[in-house]
Amino acid sequence: MALHALVVDDSMALRRSVMYALQRLETLVCVEAQDGAEAIKKLSQQRFDVVLTDINMPVLDGLKLISHIRADPERRALPIVVITTESADEDRARAMNLGASAYLVKPVQAKEVLDTVTRLLAL
C-alpha cells in the first residue's frame, strides 16, 4: 500500500531535493505544492500520510497551514515536518506549539529528512 507525502515549499529546488531524499522510500508517493493555499487544495482532494512544509511562503505561510491542518479533526494526527531557514528557538517553539511533529533547519541533509519521515510514519 502506497503512502503519500505532500511537500510544500515556494522553492522548486527545495521541493525537488526533499522529494529526491524521500524517493528512497519505495512505498512513498510525493505530491508538490508551492504554497500553503495550494497545499490546502491538495489536502481536500486526497489523503496524505505526512506533510513537509516551509514556513516562509507567499499566499499562505507554513504556520497558517499547520493551524489549518490541526483545526480539522480528521487531520489532527497527520505528521507535519517543518523544513525552514528559521533557526531561532522562538520560531521552533511557535511551530511545535501549533502542532508540528518535527522541525528541521535548512540546509537540511537528505538523511535527516528521510530519518524524520521514517520515524514519524513508523516505517
Residues 6+ apart with CB under 8 A from 24: 114
Per-residue pLDDT of 19-47, as tens digits, reads 999 999 989 999 999 999 999 999 999 99
pTM for the whole thing?
Answer: 0.96
Question: Which residue is associated with the grid cell 517553539?
Answer: 93
DSSP 74: G
Q: How many CB atoms lie within 10 A of CB 8?
A: 30
CA distance 51 to 71: 15
User: Can you read off the three cell numbers belonging to residue 16?
Assistant: 525537488
**How many domains does the chain divide into?**
1
Range of the domain at 37: 3-120
Which whole number is the average pLDDT over 82-89?
94
What CATH number corresponds to the domain at position 56?
Answer: 3.40.50.2300
